[in-house]
């Protein structure tokens, strides 16, 4: 384990007061706060190194390029991918999935084909596939789940067939916290020669992920949810797949030779990275990954699991408490409603107590429909949250409940 009070000092924002109360930040599923080392890495690069990468012969350009490419290696090691050719820098999970839906879809999806997603997907793992289906005349099919928020694996097995072109599934649900059995999902898809994309936006910040162990074909995550800046993310893809896919965007960096008659494309990963990359953010992402690795992903997991268990226990004692997402294998996300109190009212009143939670449909409207509700209140934990903050949340909910 690590020293939580010392760790909190790495995050200056946690010392803020909101409405004269200590900030209790429980909106980590939306975005995490940034440790000093991440912000300082960005400031340092802008002050001392800044130059465009890859194209320059001069010293600064080469130094910036080295930092950018070293960051790719940090990401590779973090994911345990085989090669840096498999690590594409994007703006985040959303762009990673759009890239894949476009490139994969152009080559491999045709009229009458099917794409499988799950009931609990974030809109960013639904809409790009839906847009592809509309372009190509393909069909989106949905893996159902039970009331606890556990995927129906038997239904999954019966949905996958010779028309299925790709399976797209969240590693961890951003609403329910369910940790999906991704290895099993991949194994079943591979038995049918179907590739799998895992949306790792909500798993990478919380526990160790291993591309070679999961054996998925594609994996997406966002930097800002794992203590890195906004505007940087990753699409991992197995080299044999990426080699077969056409570029997503055209421009500088992604080409080998250009003439008005014909353009040839750059090698991996650059074929998918048109234009100037966010090389400052990639460097800061590497700092964030080094930061969590130094704390230890297993320690972070143990700390957050303990918090989640404690929070579920304490919150469960509140009258009228309804949880959404009670799978056995659950991560640090708690969605709830209390009695008839509207989620927006609960969120707004908790805010006045300095407690930041998220309310609404959490970009998962089809899931809300499945649950028969409009929205929930969501508390999501990070490595810096404490049991005292859970106590503050519980006291806050009780206070709001009394007002109604």
Residues contributing to the site for ligand PLP (CB under 6 A):
92-94, 122, 124-125, 170, 174, 199, 201-202, 222
Closer residue to ligand PLP, CB minimum distance, 86 or 95:
95
d(CA 202, CA 225): 8
Distance separating alpha carbons of residues 126 and 141, to the nearest angstrom: 10
Of residues 169 and 353, the one with the C-beta less far from ligand PLP: 169
Provide the minimum distance between the beta carbon of 311 and ligand PLP in the complex, in angstroms, as a whole number: 19
| Burial grade of 8 (CB within 10 A; 0-12, 13-18, 19 or more) | middle
Q: How far is the CB of 324 from ligand PLP (least distance, A)?
A: 15
Return the number of the residue (54 or 378) whose C-beta is nearest ligand PLP: 378
- Provide the minimum distance between the beta carbon of 63 and ligand PLP in the complex, in angstroms, as a whole number: 29
Whether 128 contacts 166, CB under 8 Å? no
Beta bridge partners of 88: 235
Q: Which of 37, 133, 169, 363 is catalytic?
A: 363
What are the residues facing 356 on neighbouring strands?
A: 25
363 assigned to active site: yes
CB of 32 or CB of 125, closer to ligand PLP: 125
Minimum distance, C-beta of residue 316 to ligand PLP, in the bound complex (Å): 24
Please say which residue, 104 or 221, places its beta carbon nearer to ligand PLP: 221
In whole angstroms, give the CA distance from residue 348 to residue 400: 10
**What's the 3-state SS for 193-236?**
CCCEEEECCCCCCCCCCCHHHHCCCEEEEEHHHHCCCCCCEEEE
Task: Please report how close the Cβ of residue 206 comes to ligand PLP at its closest, in angstroms.
Answer: 12
For residue 6, CA distances in Å to 2, 3, 217, 249 come to: 8, 5, 38, 44
Contact 264, 251 (CB under 8 A): no
CB of 91 to ligand PLP, least distance (A): 7
Q: Which residues of 348-380 are buried (b: 16+ CB within 10 A; e: fewer)?
A: ebbeebbbbbbbbbbbbebbbebbeeebbbbbb
Find the radius of gyration of the CA atoms of the chain. Answer: 22
Residue number with CB closer to ligand PLP (230 or 386): 230
**Active-site residue set:** 363
């Amino acid at each position: 384990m690590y020293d939580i009070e010392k760790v909190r000092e790495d995050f200056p924002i946690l010392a803020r007061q909101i409405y004269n109360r200590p900030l209790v930040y429980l909106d980590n599923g939306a975005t995490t706060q940034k440790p000093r080392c991440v912000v300082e890495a960005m400031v340092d690069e802008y002050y001392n190194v800044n130059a465009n990468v890859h194209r320059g012969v001069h010293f600064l350009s080469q130094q910036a390029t080295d930092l950018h490419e070293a960051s790719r290696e940090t990401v590779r090691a973090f994911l345990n991918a085989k090669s840096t050719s498999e690590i594409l820098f994007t703006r985040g999970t959303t762009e990673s999935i759009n890239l894949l839906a476009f490139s994969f879809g152009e080559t491999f999806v045709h009229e009458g084909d099917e794409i499988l997603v799950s009931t609990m997907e974030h809109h960013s793992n639904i809409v790009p596939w839906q847009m592809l289906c509309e372009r190509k005349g393909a069909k989106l099919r949905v893996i159902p789940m039970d009331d606890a928020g556990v995927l129906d694996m038997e239904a999954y097995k019966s949905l996958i067939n010779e028309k299925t072109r790709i399976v797209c599934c969240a590693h961890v649900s951003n609403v329910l916290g369910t940790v999906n059995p991704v290895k099993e999902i991949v194994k079943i898809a591979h038995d049918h020669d179907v590739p799998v994309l895992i949306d790792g936006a909500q798993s990478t910040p919380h526990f160790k992920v291993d591309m070679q162990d999961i054996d998925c074909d594609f994996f997406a995550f966002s930097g800002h949810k794992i203590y890195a800046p906004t505007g940087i993310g990753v699409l991992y893809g197995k080299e044999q797949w990426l080699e077969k896919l056409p570029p997503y965007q055209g421009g500088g960096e992604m080409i080998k030779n250009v003439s008005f008659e014909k353009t040839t494309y750059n090698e991996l990963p650059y074929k998918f990275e048109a234009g100037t990359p966010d090389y400052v953010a990639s460097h800061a992402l590497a700092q964030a990954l080094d930061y969590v690795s130094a704390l230890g992903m297993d320690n972070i997991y143990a700390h957050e699991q303990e918090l989640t268990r404690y929070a579920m226990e304490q919150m469960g004692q509140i009258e009228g408490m309804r949880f959404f997402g009670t799978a056995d294998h659950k991560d640090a996300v708690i969605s709830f409603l209390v009695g008839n109190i509207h989620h927006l009212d609960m969120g707004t009143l908790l805010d006045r107590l300095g407690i930041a939670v998220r309310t609404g449909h959490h970009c998962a409207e089809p899931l809300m429909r499945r649950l028969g509700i409009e929205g929930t209140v969501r508390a999501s934990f990070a490595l810096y949250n404490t049991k005292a903050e859970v106590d503050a949340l519980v006291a806050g909910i009780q206070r709001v409940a009394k007002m109604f």
